[in-house]
Amino acid sequence: MMADESTGAGAEYAAEAAFPPFDPTYFASQLFWFAISFVLLYVLLSRFVLPRIGGAIEERRDRIADNLDAAAEMKAQADETEQAYQKALADARARAQSVAAEAKAEADREIAEATREADAELDAKLAEGEARIRDMREKALGEVRSIAAGAAATVAERLAGLEVSDSDAEKAVDGVKG
């Protein structure tokens, strides 16, 4: 029965006693250990954990700043490259236009030279043709004179029965002409 009595007395004491954290008799020791734990935790955090976190944050901030600086530098280089490209493109267009203008001027000169040569050749052929026509005309006129003289001599011989020499017939034709 003793076990029953001790169990019953312990239960009675437990029912009467307060929960130890809320028991005022333990407040002093709890506050002492709380202060030691707080100081120890504060020292651990301030000396070891927070400097590492701060270092990581500072390192990340530096890396971000470096990346931003590098990005700004790359943007500046890209802008310079674009400006150089635009200038080179404008220069190439200007050169292309000047080359095209020179080629057009050269082609115009060649066409003008070819036209002059063709005109000169045509003029020469025209003059040659006109000279041949003049020669043929004079030859034809000379033949007409001799034909007219021969026809006059033949007409005089058949109509009048006169015999006329070629030189007399030519004189008679020349006399009618002038």
**What is the predicted pLDDT for the residue at 105?**
93
Question: Residue 109 has which token pair?
Answer: 């000169």
Question: Residue 134 has which token pair?
Answer: 């003049």
**What is the predicted pLDDT for the residue at 19?**
80
Task: Return d(Cα 164, Cα 168) in angstroms, integer.
Answer: 6
Q: What are the pLDDT digits (tens) for 71-113?
A: 999 999 999 999 999 999 999 999 999 999 999 999 999 999 9
Length of the chain: 178
172, 148 Cβ separation under 8 angstroms? no
Q: What are the pLDDT digits (tens) for 2-51?
A: 555 555 555 565 556 678 778 888 888 889 999 999 999 999 999 999 89
175 vs 8 pLDDT, higher one: 175
CA 44, distance to chain mean position in Å, is 65
**What is the predicted pLDDT for the residue at 1?**
46
Task: Return d(Cα 64, Cα 75) in angstroms, integer.
Answer: 16
**What is the predicted pLDDT for the residue at 111?**
94
**What is the predicted pLDDT for the residue at 58?**
93
169, 152 Cβ separation under 8 angstroms? yes
Q: What are the phi and psi torsion angles at 124 (to 5°)? A: -65, -45
**What is the predicted pLDDT for the residue at 75?**
94
Q: What are the pLDDT digits (tens) for 106-159?
A: 999 999 999 999 999 999 999 989 988 988 888 887 777 777 778 877 887 777
